[in-house]
Structure 1
Amino acid sequence: MDAVALRKTYPGGRGRPPVRALDGLSFAVPTGTVFALLGPNGAGKSTTTKILATLSRADSGTAHVAGTDVARHPERVRRAIGYVAQKPVTDPMDTGRENLVLAGRLQGLGARDARARAAELLDRFSLTDAADRLVTTYSGGMARKLDVAMGLVHRPQVLFLDEPTTGLDPEARAEMWAEIERMTAVECMTILLTTHYLEEADRLAANVAIVDEGRVVVAGTPDALKDELRGDGIVVELAPGAPDDGASLAGRVADAVRASGVRDVRVEGRTLRARADAGAVALPAVLAGLDAAGLPVASATLARPSLDDVYLRHTGRSLAAAQAGGRSAAGDHAGAAAEEVAA
């Protein structure tokens, strides 16, 4: 599976300017692996997934799924893929079994085969005891497992999982992770996973592409991306009593730690992020510098490189900050996408 220079712009509507969702996005996914698109809401992850799943068309660029051009032969692509969207696709007033049997019939299975496949998937996702209950009575974790089972009814070659664990509790999320790992290890399925959970991408994905403002800013294995960052990460949270005067505060913090041997210093609000070759040596110097500058500290942490550090290095802000800033963009994308579907 690959995408080459995908571009997509949604009309703004109601006097708003157009929304550029994708701006030359490219990546390639090795067969039989999990590939994660990592980024905040509004980065273009869901738009990319919809184009690859033939639910939307790119303005320009090309994409292939299971060896097939998605624009030229969308019907072939649809037979080869499973798609699990962010929003539920099941009928809440049918039972879990009825939803799966219907999905099987829609995919061309005979009645007997559809019932057999439904029973197999219900057992696989530990839903057998709830099989004949209405979906509206399911917990969030149960409903999400049923959504994934719906995408697997016809045994697809490629599975798209769009934010599959959003809103799940830790236990349900761990169960979903285990199932995704099983699908690649046992069934050699190719999975495209979109997520804004760093630990999810780090654990599940053989390769990661970090997406920002409709472009892939960096891609590679999680370990390789983290290894590019030398040394340790330092994160310091300033106490509420620290003076907060906007840009000048960022300047004061940077000046206070300038002599402490750190590099890549960034300040977001009251949070200082920096890197150091020897973090255990640099951290006391950082704290001393902040104290001398009259900037009280609430907490300080020292850690090995993470995917958030990778994101920070390549985009200039942490994923949490991008997530907060991307919510309005996500709303624009959603509204534009709704208008496109309605059209």
Structure 2
Amino acid sequence: MAHLRVERGLSSNTLAAYARDLERYAEFLRSRAINAPARIGEADVAAFSETLRTGADGGRPLAASSVSRTVTAVRGWHKFLHAEGITDVDPSVSVRPPQVGRRLPKALTVEEVRRLLEAAGTDDSPVSLRDRALLELLYATGARISEAVGLVVDDLDAASGCLRLFGKGRRERIVPVGRYAWDALEAYLVRSRPVLAAKGRGVPEVFLNTLGRPLSRQSAWAVLQQAARRASLMGADDSSAEGNRRISPHTLRHSFATHLLAGGADVRVVQEMLGHASVTTTQIYTKVTVDHLREVYATSHPRARG
């Protein structure tokens, strides 16, 4: 865990998940009377993977995505032991995580984003100005919710029109911010944040709650849900006529990427702005613009229409 925290720079949430996964693995090994890493064989790792799916160890059966994550944690641990010379072989090298069907991200339309953002700031109160600035920033930059609530005042650079974000593994990236988002941020920083900050102890985070403390991820999620309901978009616990639809902070991230690609942005540029380590992760967004591709084809190809 020290290696993951210090050398890999994983977030506290990821570290907690790895710890839970490896503790379940350790319990499984103890139930098989295995008390040393060198005694673990490939069959043990494979049996654990199957146990995660069925819950045969008395634990909760996991979905394929959770099994995949847990097996990945186990494989990482064995790889570490082998690299450190603690074991002579890596028994997990041939045990692959289950393939998880990747669902296409659900992006909002440009009109739906407009409705959502307008619904966030219903008046000039400190909270409304904060909520509008938060959602404008999420859509303008494609930031993860943890990156947005972790933003500090010194990360903003109005002169260059950019801000600094710290993603997974504390990887730093610079992202441009559009005029709408900057206007919302400036309104919040000038007219709202000082009011909220006066109730706290002077923390550096940009987004504050009504007690002057840093806004939590859960509270930021609630801000989005409230705006989605006001805009008559589908929230997690809503049942509007638009059907079963879930709006999350990642929805705005998906929409950011999808709209950039549909507008002609290069996938490598979008990768950089999203903070993806591999362009393969970014390329999933190209699949959701198929309607745009059909439209371009239909209007551009000389024999596309009869």
Same fold (TM over 0.5): no
Name the TM-score, length of structure 1 as normaliser.
Answer: 0.22
Name the TM-score, length of structure 2 as normaliser.
Answer: 0.24
Q: Which structure has more helix as a fraction of its residues?
A: 2
- Relative contact order higher in (CA < 8 Å, ≥ 6 apart): 1
